């Protein structure tokens, strides 16, 4: 029987949904923030990890909604039209490296790396890397994803592998990977959005199949609230992020990562 949420659990679902929706597409690590905030709220263990993955699907569906026209065009083209076929191929190429390695290492990563210390170190290291890249911004060669070479898509996919470590940030790895390989900030950010769709849908389905036995009907309201809040907040953040990166560097995110990482090391 599905039970009503207590006010306390409702608040926790809303908070975690907001954390996910706000941070999923920023280069600051949504998984890292969920692990830390989840520990503060007492939401830990396998069920909590599954909840974290599930509400990521809400944020990803926000991307699907915002880019629905383009995605439908690509799907309906069925790989027949040149530009759309090339775009679909690049998504697949970018998806495969992290998906393949993640499938093999999924259980080990959840068991060994899902903790605040790993998150803190990854946040700091990632922040330093961003500062290094922004110190000497790479020349922009690609401002239109239709012109993205497949080898560059593969390079971004390889960069995404780094995001298997909690705290690294999938968005940071793909956005900065694309930026370093010659994409404009806006193009790199948009490609990061598109790559998130197959990666996070696959991760969510895999995790749910693996953890299905841990869940009960009573978990449905908690998961549903977190999912909905994640979806709605991501809609807002994605539009704001595209506007921001078209006019600013990623330096502010770097300093935030470093400050938050140091704070975590002090309290853990």
DSSP state of 81: S
Q: What is the pLDDT of residue 156?
A: 96
Residue 218: CB atoms within 10 A of its CB come to 12
Spans of all domains in the chain: 7-267
Residue 34 contacts residue 40 (beta carbons within 8 Å): no
Residues (pLDDT < 50) of the chain are 1
Residue 216: CB atoms within 10 A of its CB come to 11
- Assign 197 to helix, strand or coil: helix
């Amino acid at each position: 029987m599905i039970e009503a949420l207590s006010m306390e659990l409702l608040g926790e679902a809303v908070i975690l949904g907001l954390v996910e929706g706000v941070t999923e597409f920023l280069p600051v690590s949504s998984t890292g923030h969920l692990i830390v905030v989840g520990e503060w709220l007492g939401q830990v263990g396998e069920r909590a990890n599954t909840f974290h993955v599930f509400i990521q699907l809400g944020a990803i569906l926000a991307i699907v909604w915002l880019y629905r026209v383009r995605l439908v065009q690509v799907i309906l083209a069925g790989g027949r039209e040149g530009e759309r076929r090339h775009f679909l191929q690049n998504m697949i190429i970018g998806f495969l490296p992290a998906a393949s390695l993640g499938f093999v290492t999924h259980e080990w990563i959840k068991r060994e790396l899902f903790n605040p210390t790993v998150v803190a170190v990854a946040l700091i290291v990632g922040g330093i890397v961003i500062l290094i890249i922004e110190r000497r911004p790479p020349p922009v060669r690609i401002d239109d994803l239709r012109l993205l070479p497949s080898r560059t898509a593969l390079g971004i996919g390889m960069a995404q592998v780094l995001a298997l470590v909690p705290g690294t940030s999938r968005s940071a790895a793909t956005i900065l990977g694309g930026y370093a390989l010659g994409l404009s900030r806006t193009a790199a950010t948009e490609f990061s959005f598109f790559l998130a769709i197959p990666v996070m849908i696959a991760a969510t389905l895999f995790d749910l199949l693996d953890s299905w036995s841990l869940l009960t009907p009573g978990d449905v309201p908690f998961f549903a609230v977190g999912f909905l809040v994640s979806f709605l907040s991501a809609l807002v953040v994605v539009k704001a992020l595209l506007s921001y990166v078209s006019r600013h560097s990623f330096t502010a995110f770097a300093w935030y990562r470093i400050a938050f990482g140091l704070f975590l090391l002090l309290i853990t």
